[in-house]
Amino acid sequence: MRVLVLGAGATGAYFGARLIQAGHEVSFLVRPARAELLRRDGLRIRSAQGDFAAPVPLLTSVPANAAFDLVLLSCKAYDLDTALAAIAPAVGATTRVLPLLNGLRHLEVLDLAFGAARVLGGLCHISVTLQPDGSVLHLGNLHRLTFGARGADARLDELAPQLLAAPAEIRHSERIIDAMWEKFAFLSTLAGMTCLLRGSIGEIVATPDGAGLLRRCYAEACEVARRAGHAVGEEARAEADTILTTPGSPLKASMLRDLQRGAVTECEHIVGDLIARGAALEVDMPLLRAAAAHLRVYELARRMPDGTPAR
């Protein structure tokens, strides 16, 4: 299988490396500075699930008439427009685009660009971070990627066994939109509350009201999903409750790391979008709204004098 991975940030690099280990032909579409670093040092993953270090094929633009079976899209939501232009030459009639972006709003954008038949549903559960030396550090043991068709798709039936061969927890879901809603509800809670309270899960639950606040916020998010017709299952809710209330847990959303280093966040794509959907369904969401207000104040404060967002 020929795979194009947009970027070699933490998530794309990790799953791209696992696809290489499965014997697939994987190329990374990267910016020139990242390409120079990777040519010098190779792609390096440090993980309790197995390290990876090797030179990898690199592109700084997609050649005309390039033929890829799969495009793995793991950019941040605020880079989506740039990403669409970059990967467009790689998307042919039989190519499938597998987005691993958080939330749901990107699906409509991808459908308009490439046609809904070419766009899969996808999500991942993993904590990875790009280190100052350009390597990728995998935190913890969870490295789950879930994919699925949003309708009947014979092409995905051909590609699925090849994806499932990667040495990670790869799942082929027959209810991928429900799975995406499950993560949407969980991540909106994790991102919203760790940003609002400026701490890890362990730090939050160490306070008298911490666990209760996390559970109340997650209940708000689950109610949005339920009214939208994608009720979060009991197994997913139990797993989320455990993760969100584990004493001593160092877990924090990547959005909090972005906030702490003064970078742009995915507030509107995740928390903001969930609130918009919930408002249309008349859901009461005081904690989610407080989290969104906190993030929006931060975004306003970091804007440049002419009103454009700093990057």
Is 76 among the catalytic positions?
no
Mode of pairing for the β-strands spanning 2-6 and 70-73: parallel
CB 88 within 8 A of CB 115: no
The catalytic residue among 76, 96, 138, 183 is: 183
CA dist., res. 134 & res. 131, Å (int): 5
Q: What are phi and psi of 69, to 5 degrees?
A: -80, -35
Which residues contact residue 52 at a Cβ distance below 8 angstroms, ignoring those fewer than 6 apart?
17, 18, 20, 21, 43, 44, 45
Q: CA dist 134 to 3, 8, 42, 128, Å?
A: 22, 9, 9, 12
Long-range CB contact pairs, 264-267, < 8 A, 24+: 264/78, 264/299, 264/302, 264/309, 264/310, 264/311, 265/195, 265/295, 265/298, 265/299, 266/76, 266/77, 266/78, 266/102, 266/103, 266/191, 267/292, 267/295, 267/296, 267/299
Q: Which residues are catalytic?
A: 183
